[in-house]
Amino acid sequence: MRRSITVLTSVLLSSVLVGNAWGEVRYNVTDLGLLGVYDTRAFGINNSGQVVAGNVLYSGGAMTNLSFIAYGINDSGQVVGYSYTDPTRAILYQNGSMIDLGTLGGGFSYASGINDSGQVVGHSMLLVTRAFLYQNGAMTDLGTLGGNDSQAFAINDIGQVVGCAHTAQGNYHAFLYQGGAMTDLGTLGGGFSFAYGINDSGQVVGYSYTADNNGISAFLYNGTMSNLGTLGGNASVALGINNSGQVVGLSRTGPNNVEHAFLYQNGTMTDLNSLIDPSSGFTLSIAGAINNNGVIVGRGTVDGQHHAFLLTPVPEPSAFILLGMGAAGLLGFFWRRRKPA
C-alpha cells in the first residue's frame, strides 16, 4: 500500500511541476526546412497533418519534392498548385501523378484550393483573368462582380467558393460564390477587400482596406464583416479558418511594424510567438492555414532564413492539474481504505 501511495504522490507532483514549467507554451514547433526560391505566401494542411509549402509535400515526417508550386491539399492527399512551365498551368497532383487542368481559353491558369470532393478553384486567363471552378473534368468561369477580373482562393466541403472580383467601379471586393451566383461581401469602409479562406459553416476570412484606405485589417465574415484588429501595427491579413472558427494569418506589430503570425479565437488576436518556446529559435511571421485539429502551418525565420513551420498544440497545463487532482482523489481513497474501521 505504501508503494502505491508513493507512486500516486509522484504522479501528482509531476503533474503540477509540468504545468508550472510549461507556462504559456501552447505549441510545439516543427521545422519543415528552407523554402528557398519557392518562398510563397500560401500554405496548406489537411486533417491528417499532411502539409504543402512551396514545392514540398510533408507527410508522416517525410519530405517529397514536387515538380510544381503547391497551394492546397485535401483529406485524400490530393494537392493543387501551378506548374513551373511557361505558360503556367493549374495542376492537380494525385497518386504520384500530375494532371494539367487546362485553362479557360487563354495562356495560363493557377489552382489555389481543393475540397474533399476534389473540386478545385483558382484563376485562369481568358481575355481577362477569371476565377474558375474545376469539377468533373471541366473548368467553369465563375464571373465577376460587374467588372472584368476575378480570382478564387478557397472552397469548402459544401462547394462554397471565396476570392476577389472587380466591381463595376473597378475595385476588387471579396466574394462568396454559391448556387451559381457571386455575392459581394463588401469592405471595412475602404475601396478593396480580398477573401482567402472559408470553413464548412460558411465563415469567411481575408482582409479589407479600412475607411479612407488608410490601413488594412483582417476580417471575419459571418453575415456581416467584422474587423479583427491588429497586433498593434497598421495592417493584418487573415489567411485561414477551421471549422471551430479559429483564424490564422499575419499582422504587423507596433511600433516597428514587424510581421508576426497570429491566432484569433474567442474574440482575441494573439501573437503566436508568445505561445511557443523561445528557445526554438523561430520568429513566426505568417500563419497560412489551420486544420480542424488546431494544427497550424506557416512561414518563419531561423538564423535569418525563411523556413516553413508546423505548430502542434500541446495539452494545456490544466489537463495535467486535473490529472493530478484525480491522482490525489485516488490517494485519498487508498488512505481511507488502510484506516481501521
Residues 330 and 283 in one domain: no
Distance of CA 237 to the CA centre of its chain: 12
Residue pLDDT, tens place only, 312-331:
999 865 544 444 555 445 44
Provide the percentage of residues in the chain whose pLDDT is more than 70. Answer: 83
Distance of CA 188 to the CA centre of its chain: 22
Secondary structure string (H, E, C) spanning 113-148: EECCCCCEEEEEECCCEEEEEEECCEEEECCCEEEE
Residues 2 and 141 in one domain: no
Residue pLDDT, tens place only, 105-141:
988 999 999 999 999 999 999 789 999 999 999 999 9
Residues 50 and 187 in one domain: yes
State the maximum Cα–Cα separation within the chain, in Å, rounded to a whole number. Answer: 91
Distance CA 153, CA 41 (A): 12
Q: What pairing do the DSSP bridges indicate for beta strands 90-94 and 79-83?
A: antiparallel
Residues 292 and 161 in one domain: yes
Residue pLDDT, tens place only, 156-193:
999 999 999 999 999 999 999 999 999 999 999 999 99
Q: Tell me, what DSSP letter sits at residue 10? A: H
Confidence of residue 217 (pLDDT cuts 50, 70, 90): very high
Residues 99 and 221 in one domain: yes
Residues facing 140 on adjacent strands: 133
pLDDT at residue 8 tops 70:
no
Which is more confident, 228 or 35? 228
Domain count, the chain: 2
Distance CA 325, CA 169 (A): 63
Give the model's pLDDT for residue 213: 83
pLDDT at residue 13 tops 90:
no
Q: Which of 89-93, 282-286, 300-304 has the lowest mean pLDDT?
A: 300-304
Residue pLDDT, tens place only, 243-263:
999 999 999 998 888 999 999
Residues 105 and 19 in one domain: no
Residues 171 and 223 in one domain: yes
Give the model's pLDDT for residue 22: 42
Q: Which domain holds residue 60?
A: 26-313
pLDDT at residue 194 tops 50:
yes
Residues 59 and 35 in one domain: yes
Residues 18 and 39 in one domain: no
